[in-house]
Amino acid sequence: MELKRVVVTGMGALTPLGNTVNDYWNGLINGVSGADMITLFDASKFKTRFACEIKGFEPTNFLERKEARKIDRFSQIALVASDQAVADANISKDTTNTDRVGIIVASGIGGIVTFQDEMMNFAQGDGTPRFNPFFIPKMILDIAAGQISMRHGFRGPNFAVVSACASSTNAIMEAYNLIRLGKADIILAGGTESVISEAGVGGFNAMKALSERNDEPKTASRPYDKDRDGFVMGEAAGVLVLEALDHAEKRGVKIYCEIAGAGATADAHHITAPHPEGLGAKNVMLEALEDSQMTPGDIDYINTHGTSTPLGDVAEVKAIVDVFGDHVYNLNISSTKSMTGHCLGAAGVIEAMACVMSVKHDCVPPTINHFTDDPELDSRLNFTFNKSQQRTVRAALSNTFGFGGHNACVIMKKYS
């Protein structure tokens, strides 16, 4: 069968840099840091006391107070991002076959704050089991997709995928494949994560995964810098509207870009550390290129996983050099996690959005907070340090990797 072409026709996002896609993009290209001291809980006794929080979000501005209490924050922000994406894509239930509109919204962890709070309340009680009746439906990570479906009345494929920090890239890939196989006309795809809490920060602190630069939070996320000391936790929700090209053309809606290809692989190496030679990362980029029927020379920009960890940054760059050969010196490379922090299960979708906007506007956002070159990295590579760069971006590739050795990659290209 002939596979359908798939395009992006809408976007919605809440991020540490702003609560719309345009605010997020403006923050990226202007090199703004979303990091600051934690306000969502008292972190004064924690090794890490800062994070990249969403600012100014009040759920009752979007949901009835009674409904908001039944929904964990990770689902609340996903609902708002979905509202933005549906409006941006001009999807009307009156003119759209809602049985052919799906939702695939992922999360790496789900409602950990709800779980934490319920367990703490139980532990502090007299042992009598008194649990919120919404405890389980607030916590399960597929509920964000379910809530979006119910809010908008979309009855197509509806589920979540889980691959840690690669989750929302896998969600985009699943949506892309279902649409090109003709299983749906439109799918809202993306991810959501909100785990800035005692359990979230404490757990990652115990792994020694987080930066501890409490005196300089805005410069703590330092991908590719010699003195990087771990990632900065972030929270975000992002939704892309993926649509069959022929369906989008019939609707006469704007098209941001085309999804060219995607790939997924495993490191099969370690629960948290990347393969030292970047083998899984190399394989996933090769798979995405093969799926897109593109060559390394067709890519102009790579939005890297680039978490600001000592091992991960080096392994990914090794993989990029292996895949792109001499063309690697013509590429722009950047890690937008230097600004947003690491939004875990939502990282893939907001970084895919950065690629969409780069392709649309021919501008590459920077890797900020670069102070000292890392001798393990080739200084001839263009990491787009500290300032955005204007250039033609015919196609952009987004990498995401997750604990457990999960790798996912998606390629966006100009629509023609």
Q: Which residues are catalytic?
A: 165, 305, 342
Phi and psi angles of residue 239, each rounded to the nearest 5 degrees, phi first: -135, 125
Instruction: Name, in order, each residue with C-beta under 8 angstroms of 412's C-beta and a sequence gap of 6 or more.
Output: 8, 257, 258, 259, 260, 352, 355, 356, 359, 395, 396, 398
| Rounded-to-integer distance, Cα 338 and Cα 320, Å | 19
> Residue 349 belongs to what H/E stretch?
helix 347-361
Q: Report residue 85 as tokens.
A: 């994406």
Q: What letter would DSSP give residue 182?
A: T
Distance CA 133, CA 136 (A): 7
Give 276's DSSP letter.
Answer: T
From CA 297, how far away is CA 294, in angstroms rounded? 8
CB 411 within 8 Å of CB 395: yes
- Determine the Cα–Cα distance for residues 14 and 191; give it in Å rounded to an integer: 11
Residue tagged 């979000």 (tokens): 57
Give the DSSP letter of residue 172: H
Reduced to 3 states (helix: H, G, I; strand: E, B; else coil), residue 279 is helix
Residue 69 CB: number of other CB atoms within 10 A? 13
Q: Render 221-266 in DSSP notation, one character per residue.
A: --TTBTT---B-BB-EEEEEEEEEHHHHHHHT----EEEEEEEEEE
Residues 6+ apart with CB under 8 A from 268: 280, 405
Short-list 223, 222, 221, 235, CA closest to 168? 235
Note the Cα 165 to chain centre separation in Å. 8
DSSP H helical ranges for 125-244: 135-139, 143-152, 167-180, 198-206
**d(Cα 414, Cα 86) in Å, to the nearest integer?**
22
Q: How far is CA 383 from the centre of its chain?
A: 20
The pair of structure tokens assigned to 122 is 């139980």
